[in-house]
Structure 1
Amino acid sequence: MPKEPTSGQGAQPAQGAAPQNPQGAGAPPESGASASRQPRGHVVGERKKRFLVAPRQPMVQMGPLGVLPMAFQPLSLSTVEQALRAAPDIEVVGLVGDRRAASPLAEGMGGGHAEGVLVARMTDQKAQELHLQGQGRLLVERDQHLQLFEPALRQPNLVASLTPAAGPAMSLAVLVLDGSGAPVPEAEVSLFGSLLPASGVTGQDGTATITMYGENPHTVRGLYVKPKSDFWSFYQRDPDLSATEPNVVTLRPLSAWRGLSGFPAQNTIGWGQRAMRMDKLPPEFRGRGVRIAVIDSGVATSHTNLRQIGAGFDIIDKDTDPGAWNQDQLGHGSHCSGVIGGADPTFGIRGFAPEAEIHVCKLFPGGQVSQLIEALEYCIEHQIDVANLSLGGTEPSEALEQQILRAKRFGVACIAAAGNSGDAVQYPASSPHVLAVAAIGKAGEFPPDSYHSQTMNGDVDADGFFTARFSCYGPRVDVCAPGVAIVSSVPPNNFAAWDGTSMAAPHVTGLAALVLAHHPAFQGPGRAPNADRVERLFQVIRMSARRVTLGEQTRIGYGLPDALVALGWSVMAADRRGQQPLQGMAGMGLGALGGIGGTGLMGEAAFGQPVGLGAAQGGIPGIPGLPFGIGTVRGGW
């Protein structure tokens, strides 16, 4: 904003600032007394956002048919960085991804020369100009925000998105108690009416007062209570409510359900682990020697089941407090970690691989694609075997796809939640280089008056398995796993029953750790970390799966993985004390797996070959130093 004139002279705009002109573009700006009436403050305009900028690699352009080959000589990262720093309206924030010099290991893995991704701030318009100037040789994409996959409330039908301009307000008091009559604080209470829903949180007295406009007690179509921990949720369709006295809801403790009798004082195995027959494996199968990364909201090592976790990195606060990975404000990462590797003292829930080495990459709240790229670089540097990704974004990312592929070449197997939008599989689960996991539930594993009952589809099979309504689906789903009413660890030392593909993915991550640690095919030379090992691991998990639910295959993929089959054990052998693997099962399908995995890798290598070189001469006005030309880009289709 220009300063106010100190004398009778008219105000002069500062250099580079837009003149104040309320009369339109064709009218001269006001001066003198008229200018003094202009409001003071910040002029709203477009702010600069974070973008990812990098030389485009010849083999990772995403098209309608998948990965398309591209024909050009790649730019060097240093050339791009110099050009960006020379532009006055672009701010280079930093570099993520591969920052190391090429090494014999990198060359052997197909890593090539070190090429990272630049993070820069600019406007949308400038990013579009940069993209056009790149002539297809420069990756320019928004550094989109990521989200954790927790299912949104499924509102009753016919809820309208209309806000009344005026009208009477209705206030309802909801009192939430436990079985002994004590108040339950910090419980989220939501009411769904004919217009917009309204929510509140109970105080120390267990009461939440919720105000709704244009409603009365007879138009409320749903009441939902979500406790912070230790209790089952509550849902009542078409509740009978009072506007004159508190509406009392009594929650059941988790231990009141038959599958969790004595919990948490008595150590328990969750229904998901039992459904995948982890409980039938030999007790010594505990994942020792495998490294797992949980890329999430951190992990509360204050929890008894999670105290064995001792390594991690806070990517969000890396410059101020990188060691804050052991603080989990959201509880999401702690819940996932408990499913994967919760320790098994005489308290709580045992995870799949309690002796695996778990690393925590804290990415939430506020994680973006650039920070996920950093998390995967952490996985490469620390030789992580399996990475759990219970997260996703709204759009695919070419920069992230490039990093996922790089991690795969270094032997990092990424297992991703399919998403909770009830639509097509979200990214990065939709990537062909990760294992995508959808969610299923099982009738009888939660109280019928809990909100978990609202996740049921009408495809319940004879064993009670059903596909979860919120779960994403489509041909990119590889397998399904338990993701409804999953009880696991939450801060500080409590437990909660949550739903989501976020809860399904850790079941498969835990199983993958057991396969890598104990399957004979992944010992000795088969343990070498490379893309072939990742493909073989994925195929072992797929081939172990059995069909569950009456839903379409696009909702379950190959089905529910079976720990016994994946590790080559029979039910009869597992039920005996002297367990022995069945002959031939230990190497289950691996003769064929080599061919399947090899096909993918061969196709990958074929696409990596350049099919021609376009012209690369001439400068682009406005971005000095970038040697872009008009040359054509030829594909191989």
Structure 2
Amino acid sequence: MNDLKQSIQALTHSSTGKTSTINQKNAPKTRQLVVLRTQAAYKECLHHCKSLGIHPVKTIKTMNAILLHAHPHADMGPLKRNGLVRRVESDRKIKLHTVKKKARRLATGCASIDTPEIIPWGIARIQAPLVWKATQGSPIRVAILDTGIAKHPDLRVVRSFNTINKKPVIDRNGHGTHVAGTVAALRNSFGVVGVAPKAKLYAVQSFNSEGSAFTSDIIQGIDWCIRNRMQVINMSFGLTDFSPSLQQIIRKAHRQGIVMIASAGNSGKNSGTIDYPARFPETIAVAASTENNQIAVYSSRGAGIDVTAPGDEVCSTYLNNSYTKLSGTSMAAPHVTGTVALLLSRCPRLSPTAVKQRLQRTARKLNGFTRKSQGNGLINASRAVLLTK
């Protein structure tokens, strides 16, 4: 039997000698991302899967990647050592960066479609309204890589893509809808307004209704953003473990000129490190501040934080045409994403590195906090967009 075919077949069986396979009903299984070295090897691998009756969970053609279910006791060695295989890695779970607060008031407490429009405190704090006479973010394409974006009268979504399955994008969690509102809620007569109200929103759903995703879902989402020429990606989530495949797609997006904003994490004062993908230097890593200009107690500390943005008790769009307050570095990142949309609207030729440097150079230090807590400080949209060249 072909070595590659034999190695793939070994994934479905236990190396302990037991006869159970993942094809049996209710059999345990893990998810393994197999990345091939060439397009030819990728096609060969797919051919072997088909001949063996193995159905890939998903494929990412541009990365030569195939996601397969594997027996938890399978021998991965032969496949990892195969010369046609670049790597095999576990498909890790990823978490959203929101904080659950016992006293958090849900739904209609902070704004309404029946009351005059408000400017949330964070958007005022970064001085985004001072930019709106010059630009409101048009025509910058911003992808929200999240739980989806719900239908809402204060949001306009250009297009959607679901990495989990082929079903229409529907946000049943609320996290993605909230993030989207901070970035680009419409400037109208009701509800709230976003940092860049005329930026173009794209919903890339990689998290399910419970707020759970896998690394492969994120990779596929970023791949879609590259192929569909997104200019900015908001990533309000993270994981603690390094993923070489995630790093590979992040680097590719960066080379394509996409600005990626990532929340640092919610592990608090003693975390020591920030999460991936924020830890990758190709992203803009964001810490969270409170209304009294303190770094939030839950905001992760560590090397690699670039800037800080408002992230505590942020009022934004939510499910069922409502609004709510949420907290976390998840809520800080979209303030930066909206600011980047404003900046690129005025200076579309800026590289991702130049955008990061502009935000860092125009940020303001928060007193009493170290660089590992706040990076270069609290972003200032007005200074970043209007006062520098």
- The residue aligned with 2:236 is 390
Measure the CA separation in 2 of the matches of 1:472 and 1:264: 37
Counterparts of 1:103-502 in structure 2, within 5 Å, are: 114-126=62-74, 128-130=76-78, 132-134=80-82, 138-152=86-100, 224-231=102-109, 254=110, 265-301=115-151, 303-306=152-155, 308-318=156-166, 321=167, 324-325=168-169, 327-365=170-208, 366-422=212-268, 423=271, 424-442=273-291, 464-502=292-330
1:152-201 alpha-carbon deviations (Å, 9 max, x no partner)? 45xxxxxxxxxxxxxxxxxxxxxxxxxxxxxxxxxxxxxxxxxxxxxxxx
- Is contact 1:388–1:506 with CA below 8 Å preserved after alignment? yes
Q: Report SS of the residue matched to 2:282.
A: coil
Shift of 1:568: 2.9
Q: How many residues align?
A: 364
- The residue aligned with 1:178 is none
Shift of 1:125: 3.8
1:48 corresponds, among 21, 29, 33, to 29
- Is contact 1:93–1:121 with CA below 8 Å preserved after alignment? yes
User: In structure 2, do the counterparts of structure 1 residues 389 and 130 end up closer, same or farther at CA, with 3 Å as the change threshold?
Assistant: farther
- Is contact 1:143–1:370 with CA below 8 Å preserved after alignment? yes
1:243-290 alpha-carbon deviations (Å, 9 max, x no partner)? xxxxxxxxxxx37xxxxxx99611111111111111222424111111
Shift of 1:413: 1.2
1:535 corresponds, among 346, 353, 366, to 353
| More helix per residue | 2
- The residue aligned with 1:93 is 56
User: In structure 2, do the counterparts of structure 1 residues 92 and 403 end up closer, same or farther at CA, with 3 Å as the change threshold?
Assistant: farther
- Is contact 1:81–1:118 with CA below 8 Å preserved after alignment? no
Shift of 1:127: 5.5
Measure the CA separation in 1 of the matches of 2:234 and 2:332: 10
- The residue aligned with 2:38 is 76
Shift of 1:76: 2.0
Percentage identity across aligned positions?
Answer: 27
User: In structure 2, do the counterparts of structure 1 residues 44 and 295 end up closer, same or farther at CA, with 3 Å as the change threshold?
Assistant: closer
- The residue aligned with 1:547 is 365
Q: TM (normalized to structure 1)?
A: 0.53
User: In structure 2, do the counterparts of structure 1 residues 225 and 545 end up closer, same or farther at CA, with 3 Å as the change threshold?
Assistant: closer
Measure the CA separation in 2 of the matches of 1:549 and 1:328: 38
Q: Report SS of the residue matched to 1:52.
A: strand
Shift of 1:95: 5.2
1:36-73 alpha-carbon deviations (Å, 9 max, x no partner)? xxxxxx9987x221111114xxxxxxxxxxxxxxxxxx
- Is contact 1:467–1:549 with CA below 8 Å preserved after alignment? no
Q: TM (normalized to structure 2)?
A: 0.86
Q: What amino acid sits opposite 2:306 in the alignment? A: D
Greater RCO (Cα-Cα under 8 Å, separation 6 or more): 2
Shift of 1:411: 1.6
Measure the CA separation in 2 of the matches of 1:389 and 1:334: 13
Q: Which has the larger radius of gyration?
A: 1
Measure the CA separation in 2 of the matches of 1:482 and 1:372: 25
Query: Tell me, which stretches of 5 or more residues in structure 1 are unaligned?
Result: 1-15, 21-41, 56-74, 100-113, 154-223, 232-253, 256-261, 443-463, 528-532, 570-584, 588-637
Q: Report SS of the residue matched to 2:290.
A: strand
Shift of 1:548: 1.3
Measure the CA separation in 2 of the matches of 1:19 and 1:415: 47
1:96-151 alpha-carbon deviations (Å, 9 max, x no partner)? 44x3xxxxxxxxxxxxxx54211112124436324652489631111112221112
Q: Report SS of the residue matched to 1:313.
A: strand
Shift of 1:81: 5.4
Q: What amino acid sits opposite 1:492 in the alignment? A: N
1:498-542 alpha-carbon deviations (Å, 9 max, x no partner)? 1000000000000000000013xx3xxx26xxxxx1111111111
Q: Report SS of the residue matched to 1:436.
A: strand
Q: What amino acid sits opposite 2:308 in the alignment? A: C
Shift of 1:78: 3.0
- The residue aligned with 1:557 is 375
Measure the CA separation in 1 of the matches of 2:137 and 2:19: 66
1:409-450 alpha-carbon deviations (Å, 9 max, x no partner)? 2121111111112222011111111111011102xxxxxxxx
Measure the CA separation in 2 of the matches of 1:84 and 1:309: 35
